[in-house]
A = this chain, B = another copy of it.
């Protein structure tokens, strides 16, 4: 039925309403559609127990007056908001925004919005602060990033709040011992590091430096383990003298690189547990007049934007971080909640790695 087909004398109540230019509420829809609020509510929430005819009629009104349910009122009644929370204490801005972009990819147009909430894991009321955030905002889901995704206190607090949450981690299962039983989005850090080790071994390197991540980080453990496995597979082992602990920062990578390169004989290759530190190694190498990859091969982890920008391009292990963010959000938004998702990591070979024979001048 077209509105203009109505008798000219009686003005269309819908047109009448539109002239008022007021934000439409469920009441307006109800009265214009000549049904009760509850019926409108049923239509909004796709309740099956509405006659098709009624439903279409209500939907027509909704479309005409441009009604959108108020998330706050809806949330109040539902006892939950339509917000996802991103909780992290991670100094790597690039990592955080990659995840964030993935999450945003997923929720775009879904009616759910993303609230970002960094925190300070060294604060005494770190847990309470997050608990308040989640509880107060009545989040419909929470995404937790490493390293606090490995914090058992936090996890059990989230369990208590019984809010759906997803952890992003580097090791499947490991920290999921009871009572923690959350969904995980996992990257196979070991896999890519194994490939990195094999790549270096195949280039003839045997004197290889290793810059690890900070103690207590699952990613640091996994990368170390993967690298070990790769070397072992090639009949090599990591010389304890050539292992330096870094902090995932540029500065720590620089210092570690300096320390490694001052040894005699010096390593012909260095694996750095992230790109940030790898670029620190670049600086250390430049200071010593060493050229990459001729005098020294370098491999990083993350395949951060900087890896493709430095000269020479940095060979690095890529994890599909944005995809992981997307998967995390999807696990929280999707109807049928998924189990954990696991992502492979792959070695991206650029120009920072070359044959050991060139570098071997003791």
CB within 8 A of A97: which of B70, B93, B283, B309? B93
Is the CB of A310 closer than 8 A to any CB of chain B?
Answer: yes
Question: What are the interface flags for A88-126 relative to B under an 8 Å C-beta threshold, 1 for contact and 0 otherwise?
Answer: 000001101110110010000000011111100000000
List residues 131-149 of chain A with CB under 8 A from any CB of chain B. 132-133, 135-138
CB within 8 A of A118: which of B94, B104, B133? B104
CB within 8 A of A117: which of B97, B113, B118, B282? B113
List residues 44-102 of chain A with CB under 8 A from any CB of chain B. 68, 70-73, 75-76, 81, 83, 93-94, 96-98, 100-101
CB within 8 A of A101: which of B93, B136, B308? B93
Question: What are the interface flags for A288-331 relative to B under an 8 Å C-beta threshold, 1 for contact and 0 otherwise?
Answer: 00000000000000000110111100000000000000000000
Q: How many residues of A contact B (CB 8 A)?
A: 43
Contact A250 B308 (CB under 8 A): yes
Which B residues are CB-close (under 8 A) to A73?
76
Which B residues are CB-close (under 8 A) to A68?
132, 136
CB within 8 A of A93: which of B83, B94, B133, B138? B94
Which B residues are CB-close (under 8 A) to A135?
23
Contact A100 B72 (CB under 8 A): no
Which B residues are CB-close (under 8 A) to A286?
311
Contact B100 A116 (CB under 8 A): yes
Contact B308 A310 (CB under 8 A): no
List residues 2-53 of chain A with CB under 8 A from any CB of chain B. 23
Contact B113 A113 (CB under 8 A): no
CB within 8 A of A311: which of B23, B113, B283? B283
Which B residues are CB-close (under 8 A) to A75?
72
Is the CB of A270 closer than 8 A to any CB of chain B?
Answer: no
Pairs across A and B, CB under 8 Å, 5 listed: A70-B136, A93-B93, A114-B116, A250-B308, A286-B311
The 9 closest A-B pairs by CB, nearest first: A286-B311, A93-B97, A97-B97, A279-B309, A72-B75, A113-B115, A72-B76, A72-B72, A73-B76
